[in-house]
Amino acid sequence: MSEMTNSNTKLTIKQYISYLFVLTAMAFVLNKFHLRPFVQKNSYPEFLQIVVLSLPNFAEAVMGTLLLTGILLQVRQHFSKKFGTIKTSHVYLIALSLASVYVISQELKFHNIGGNNTYDHFDIIASLIGLTFTYLIISKFGFAD
């Protein structure tokens, strides 16, 4: 299992979280460099075009939520005197909220931190699916032991 440590204790991340993060990153890379160009070049059906064009938004939502959850759990643990009483479920909601603000505001062009971005309502839908999926998974199965 992956471990994050501070001077006193270890935050042990569940193995499935590491797998989910790596698989999502791999899907993003494969989509960007192989699947998306292939689908666009060969004029596949519109549904498949939408999926390959919106997959990066799904991946960004999943990976962003996981990263923020890990960071916030580590911060809570490190500053346990101040933040130790915050429930894990609340940490998940805070991470989800921060990830939501980032990915949705990017789609609505409030900022362009993620790079060249064009508005597409399917991208917002993919982001919402990724955010919801990740939140449900970590709420049901947990993030750390």
Q: List Cα–Cα distances, 49 to 37, 126, 132, in angstroms.
A: 10, 13, 22
Give the integer Cα–Cα distance in Å for 77 and 73: 6
pLDDT tens track for 100-131:
999 998 888 776 666 666 678 999 999 999 99
* Collapsed DSSP state (helix, strand, coil) of residue 102: helix
pLDDT tens track for 9-41:
788 999 999 999 999 999 999 999 999 999 989
pTM of the model: 0.88
Contact 93, 69 (CB under 8 A): no
